[in-house]
Structure 1
Amino acid sequence: MIVVTTPTGQIGGRLVRQLLDQGEEVRVVVRDASRLDGPVRERVEAVTGSHDDPAVLDRALPGAEALFWLVPPNPAAPSAETHYLRFARAGADAVARHGVGHVVGVSSAGHGWPAPAGVLSAAFAMDAELGASGAAYRALSMPFYMENLLRQLDAIREQGVFTLTCAGDLPLASIATRDIAAAAAVLLTDPSWTGQRNLPVFGPDRLTPDGMAEVIGQELGRPVAYRRTSIEAYASLLRSQGASDQAVEDLTEAFAAQDRGIYDEDWGSAEPAATGFRTWCREVLKPAADARTP
């Protein structure tokens, strides 16, 4: 039995479908089972609730051989670290209680970064908790998600521009969520690995944001440019959207660390993922853009 948290998200949803296609028994922890796709809902065992609740985990983990762990975002949390650690401590305790042998968590690249990195540091703290649970643990250590660009789809379509805080002429490591799910599926179905390890998984490209803009433009058939924004301007945007001071600090520290190269050390040793940026644009970004075209 494999237990999957966040089964309605971009990563968890793909992972559940892949495991079912491989003939695995899957149990999911889900806040609202009605959000599961109909065919998936019929084939999984669903435990309703949140995986920061020990009682929910005690219903989900009996008989589990492996657990997929992802902490959902919560901008209203007192801090990213408080949020991640609440989940991680509940998870580590439950894993130990139920003798789960293998845990795969979604984390960030850059373990060992010497400065505060906001949300990324919170993920590292999560890994330490889960790694101390007694289970074999793999932290899937990820760089920038390609899917983050979907949040700027309107600006890309209507203004021909997307913005980030990093330099336009320096390579930015990236990953498609489909490849995170694929890496998790391999680990969750292989009981032979042991110990604790951070496992960087990066896309195959070394594109700069300027290069990403060029690829996006080619795939959409219209000019697209990259525009760099400052950390200060990004913080002001977050505040204008109602983010708390702590949430602003957590996010701006993460982007500042990204700008300073937090992913770079892991890039050389990362497992190469299958999906290149052009393929992702063709198969994910362009269909999403076309769907919004009047």
Structure 2
Amino acid sequence: MTIVVTTPTGNVGSRVTRLLVQAGVRPRLLLRDPARLEPGLRAHVDAVPVDLTDRDAVLRATEGATALYWVCPPTGADDPVAAAAELGETAARAVSTHGIGHTVFQSSVGAEKRSGAGDIDGLAHTEEALDAASDTTGAAVCHLRCGYFTTNLLMDVDDLRAGVLRTPWDLDAPMPWVDPRDDGDVAAARLLAADWTGRQVQAVHGPADLTWHEVAEVVSTATGHPVRAERISDDDLRAGLTAAGLTQRQVEAVVGMAAGLRDLEPEDPRTVLTSTPTTLAAWAHEHLRPLLAA
């Protein structure tokens, strides 16, 4: 079994890597800088320095793979949707060229729309490319459609310290909140299993859907730092992203994602198969409490 893992130092990929190693697998890790790996892991993996935007390098690095965990990471490209789509084409080419039997793709809730969801449209294009590869080769592919990652709150620490949780979404609309580590658990389980076939979608919804008011209450209780939810307009979001240095296309990709996910009912409903255990309260106590107490 040769399992290739992309973005192995990311929030999900690092969890996938650790679980594979603990299961007795020696994964092949594709990353730009192998020095970023935890020192204790280096003896248990095969690290290959690769830029995922280099298609030829990716094809060389995936030769002989039996399974693939694929992520379309941010590239800094002016058009992030097109960049993600190109990465997806690279993954599909690797599957077709090498006959990779199983691929687990890190997708997102909203990809089922196929268009009109900003940044997520690039993931939808990747799903379609991998589906086409599956159709022509018989390879199995599973799209992990995840809810809103708890780690997104780490981008708002300054606002949270000021007691405000700002969002462009309806404050009373519930959303699935997911700890990326739980997503890694699902991804690793899929990679280690060899008896599933065809095209599959596996939603990862966390333990509960929460409104933004509920999120603010949970964060306040878990951290001991009072926080209130505040809705901002799309124009306010644009202004903030522009001030942060994003290009116009990058800004519109984020704004489009926010708009595209409003009133979205995930294609894969919440069931025992799609619910994962880690609560927002547990995550916030572990990760946010030290930052807000500083």
With structure 2 as the length reference, what TM-score do the two structures score? Answer: 0.93
Partner of 1:79: 79
Work out the CA distance in 2 between the residues paired with 1:190 and 1:264.
Answer: 25
Deviates more, 1:18-27 or 1:114-123: 114-123
Counting only pairs closer than 5 Å after superposition, residues 1-294 of structure 1 correspond to structure 2 as: 1-75=2-76, 77-113=77-113, 116-133=116-133, 134=137, 135-157=139-161, 159-258=162-261, 260-268=262-270, 271-290=274-293, 293=294
Matches of 1:122 and 1:60, distance apart in 2: 23
Contact 1:80–1:118 under 8 Å retained in 2: no
**In the TM superposition, what is the alpha-carbon distance from 1:222 to its structure 2 partner?**
2.7
SS of equivalent residue, structure 2 residue 172: coil
Q: How many Å separate the matches in 1 of 2:5 and 2:187? A: 10
In 2, are the aligned partners of 1:5 and 1:29 still within 8 Å (CA)?
yes
**Distance in 2 between the 1:87 and 1:22 partners?**
29
The residue identity in structure 1 corresponding to 2:110 is G
Question: Displacement, 1:80?
Answer: 2.3
Q: 1:61 is matched by which residue type in structure 2?
A: T
Counterparts of 1:80 and 1:52 in 2: how far apart (Å)?
12
**Contact 1:51–1:91 (CA<8 Å) still a contact in 2?**
no
Aligned residues: 288
Residue type of the alignment partner of 2:84: Y
How far is 1:3 from its partner?
A: 0.5
RMSD (Å) for aligned C-alpha atoms: 1.7
Counterpart Cα distance in 1 of 2:173 and 2:129: 34
Gap change, CA 1:115 and 1:129, over 3 Å in 2: closer
Distance in 2 of aligned mates of 1:171 and 1:223: 21
User: 1:81 deviation in Å?
Assistant: 2.4
Superposition deviation, residue 263 in structure 1? 4.6
Q: Which amino acid aligns with 1:286?
A: R
Letter in 1 for 2:255: T
Matched AA of 2:278 = T
**Residue range with higher mean Cα deviation, 183-192 or 83-92:** 83-92
TM (norm. structure 1) is 0.93
The Cα of 1:266 is off from its aligned counterpart by 3.4
Contact 1:57/1:94, CA 8 A, preserved across alignment: yes
Q: Is the Cα contact below 8 Å between 1:139 and 1:199 reproduced in 2?
A: yes
Over the matched positions of the two proteins, sequence identity in percent amounts to 33
AA in 1 matched with 2:268: D
Change (3 A) 1:267 1:287: farther
The secondary structure found in structure 2 opposite 1:152 is helix
What secondary structure does 2:175 align onto? coil
